[in-house]
Structure 1
Amino acid sequence: MSTRLLAQQLNLIETIPVNKPLMEGHCVQTFDYLIFLDFEATCWDRYDRTKGSAEIIEFPAVFYDLRQHKILKEFQEYVMPTERPKLSEFCNKLTGITQKQVDKGVPLQTSLLLFTRWLQELTTKYNLTFDSTDMRKKRCALVTWSDWDLGTCLESECRRKQIRKSEIFNKWINLRALYEEYYNRRPLGLNGALLDVGLTFEGKQHCGLDDAKNTAFLARKMVSDGVLLRITKELTIN
């Protein structure tokens, strides 16, 4: 008689039930909600000699329920660039954002304030926390497709313009990093990643709000495939 069979007969082995979702590839996530960000910024053709530093011109976000797998709220503000106020033709064609929209937009500092107020309303309504140690509340995290939005674009512009941003923007989930780690391949942008997993981009590429929504759709697919979402980047606060 095998050791395992003998142990079973003597009730020395405990059988632990496994939830069906786990067997299908799902894994238990540590977050309850996610906020997807995807900035659009001033840009130029590679040969344009008038190019400058990138300034955010669209500030979008979507609030996503990871348990119900759906978007609950949306946020979008067009932002007025101040260093290079006139958009390049290349930027207009790529993003679809018009000069009129940014001229009527708000300064970056104001957009950050409006986003913070939007986030405060969500925090109160859904009992959110961005602190992993507070077990009494629902955990939430910022998510971007790469480190560029929060690690380069927003960080650099705030430093140049001496704008103080919330500490919330200092850590996030880089979905691309988790994608490359799990699937062991480098996708050709967000659209390429969607196509690789059998999804189709919905809306207009390089529209920040549509990009944020599609990043959420990709995350939903990744979670169903068994990807465990975690914070991948945290800026050092000087």
Structure 2
Amino acid sequence: MAKRLLDRILVVDVEATCWDGPVPEGQANDIIEIGIAVLDVATAERVDRRGIIVRPERSSVSPFCTELTTLTQEDVDAGISFAEACAILRTEYRAHERVWASWGEYDRQQFERQCAALGVPYPFGTRHLNAKTLYSLARALPREPGMAGALADAGLPLEGTHHRGVDDAWNIAALLGGLLAAGRS
């Protein structure tokens, strides 16, 4: 069993190939960006951020996807393989030993599906934190808001570009940091 590290939370947000409508025949949703923000548990401060551009293996970037994420086919063609990106999560971030969080279940499920489809070892341990549910429960909200709605609810600005993994992870980490700090006061 992997050692459990509770010093930092890895906040992850992925962007994947997408279309304005159903997935075209012969293609599948591929992760094209992994945004990582590191949240120090002791201080509730965001201490690091990174965006990893991933080259899709089963699809291409549609005009709709570029409009949503700002990422182009040329951007992702210069990225690294999904297997390399997962290896970075394990070796540089020790993702298999740390709690990791995302806004909802999509990111976790997309990693699970893509790892299984491509035969890539899953880079995380079993301790996934659904920040969307946690935020909603902590704030006694009647429903789970999107990330931008939660930022507005918390009185925080949306930093960067919405639907860019690196920026969304940074913003989610701000929301989690606020919950950690509020729990201590």
* Alpha-carbon distance between aligned partners in 2 of 1:214 and 1:51, rounded to the nearest angstrom: 34
Task: Give 1:31 shift.
Answer: 4.0
In terms of Rg, which structure is larger?
A: 1
Aligned residues: 179
Residue 183 (str. 1) matches residue 183 (str. 2): no
The aligned runs of 1:7-86 (5 Å cut-off) are: 31-46=6-21, 49=24, 52-84=27-59, 86=60
- Specify every segment of 5 or more residues in structure 1 that has no aligned partner in the other structure, as ranges: 1-29, 124-128, 131-139, 228-238
Residue 174 (str. 1) matches residue 130 (str. 2): yes
Partner residue of 1:108?
82
Task: Give 1:223 shift.
Answer: 2.3
- Specify every segment of 5 or more residues in structure 2 that has no aligned partner in the other structure, as ranges: none
CA contact (8 A) 1:75 1:115 kept: no
2:151 to 187, 191, 194: 194
- Aligned-pair RMSD on alpha carbons? 2.3
- TM-score, structure 1 length as denominator? 0.68
Partner residue of 1:147?
105
User: Alpha-carbon deviations, 1:192-217, whole Å to 9, x = none?
Assistant: 01111211211110010000000011
User: Alpha-carbon deviations, 1:166-222, whole Å to 9, x = none?
Assistant: 3x3432111111122222322431000111121121111001000000001111222
- TM-score, structure 2 length as denominator? 0.86
- Matched to 1:32, the amino acid is D
Residue 220 (str. 1) matches residue 177 (str. 2): yes
Report the identity percentage. Answer: 28
Partner residue of 1:23?
none
* Alpha-carbon distance between aligned partners in 2 of 1:205 and 1:42, rounded to the nearest angstrom: 16
Residue 204 (str. 1) matches residue 122 (str. 2): no
